[in-house]
Structure 1
């Protein structure tokens, strides 16, 4: 075990200041990913700055009718929150499909956003990996890549982002709140995670020393329905081979508005803008949904062993959208009514 120092921060400013004095420091929330990476020898921070006790553990209404979610809110608490279940069911469903109950009780909102890929080459220090050690290569391209990316990958990296929560947040137009030595800023979730390009070691646009302080969910128009669906190799505690988060508003049998995001297919949650363009103003039918999914997935570049992901994602999208459209036909009540689990 490599030695490291530990500091429990009392305030966000204290945490940020400590990071500035230790360039190899890392913030520690629930530790459900970082501690594993330390055990594997992938991460070796010289200082762990514990931010799990900061007063960022509340879910509050915004004046506009949305929600402000603190970075240290536990995944299980967020999934069970009445406002999340009632108005943003896709987020609750995504959280409940991730990890195990024990891990959800520990994992934090901020940490979930920042978790790193489960690519086996990244997690094995004996293997080359551009994400872990830039310039060493990406053996996954010709090696074991069944679970890896079919969209947005590069010659340098084909890893996928593992979060379920982040996929739902991408479809819900959430915004990440950040705080650093230079002040605060907000970044849309859809811009927060990066595609690998030639710098796959950078997962996000977060700057050194910046701390995720929370997430803001915008209000949803009346009649909006949302849902999250995930396909995986086993029924529990497995990462997505493909997943879909959809947010839809149907009026008189026509898609008035739609947002769609895929998980398990790319280096970041994949917001399906091309599919959304097809959906808006079109009849809310399975034929429209299939055409929309095909428009988005036409950009896929599957590798030797993961072409099945394209078909899987297409079928998931059509199924989720069809269920949401059916629940919108004359349905009243809360957004979560009759959405698929």
Structure 2
């Protein structure tokens, strides 16, 4: 099974106002900037820094599904591979390393109920709990925790998800670095409903900042909601808003059995979703000899280039540490931007400074 690591880190409610989305996702006018700073490089991408503390970058946008219910599932059928949320532990091996075998070893640990003797993993993108009520979890550094070998297990969500073939499956509670207060409870943000970008792990102070994002005439406000190696990743919701101007019908997950491969459900998948066959890219339905094995729906179709992201210098959600004190919605993000003195026109002008990047 192919491993594709996204860069990111409790589950959010679907509290995005669709009226707000319609208001937030507007055609970006090609307003010429009043004055632009000189170009620079930020996080490896062409960018610019502005006098009010804002800065922007322009480049590709990969998909970060973390925080969505369907991001990681029992049996590894989620929108991202389970190995993208962990590394091997004892022995320490990056799941990015060739031959790490993380996916099959995780399924082995899962089959053994993560009991003593099963493979161990250091987990950073999934909630971890002790095997027994009242038990202790084991840390593996940087806020990460161990699962497997009796030291812990990923926490399973309370409800179930619908699958493409009409079944149900359980999911593991995925985390984001930015949290939010919802009805007095601390929760992660939901990649499927909240437009968000990933900021470098070295800059956690950026979490909660309002971001203005544009792509091919569409724009939306977003939040700096997770951390990873670099700029250049966005939530499922952000990808849908930039591509289509609105959130799409929630995507059901796999697996897709061999008998049901290459049917309407698989052929009609829309970006950022795509079919990832267990037998690899050679088993795609538009190639001869397809249907060699089952497939899963993964959220991996990014945008190759041309996405402008401006982190507004004075606009931020009300924060305590890494927890937004209000639910993260487009309404809340627009309010934070407006309260800080930003208008659609001023944000468009700032973004236009990167138009030639």
Quickly name the TM-score band, shorter chain normalised: under 0.3
TM-score (norm 2): 0.22
Structure holding more strand per residue: 2
* TM-score between both structures, scaled by the size of structure 1: 0.23
Give the number of the structure with larger relative contact order, counting CA–CA contacts within 8 Å between residues 6 or more apart: 2
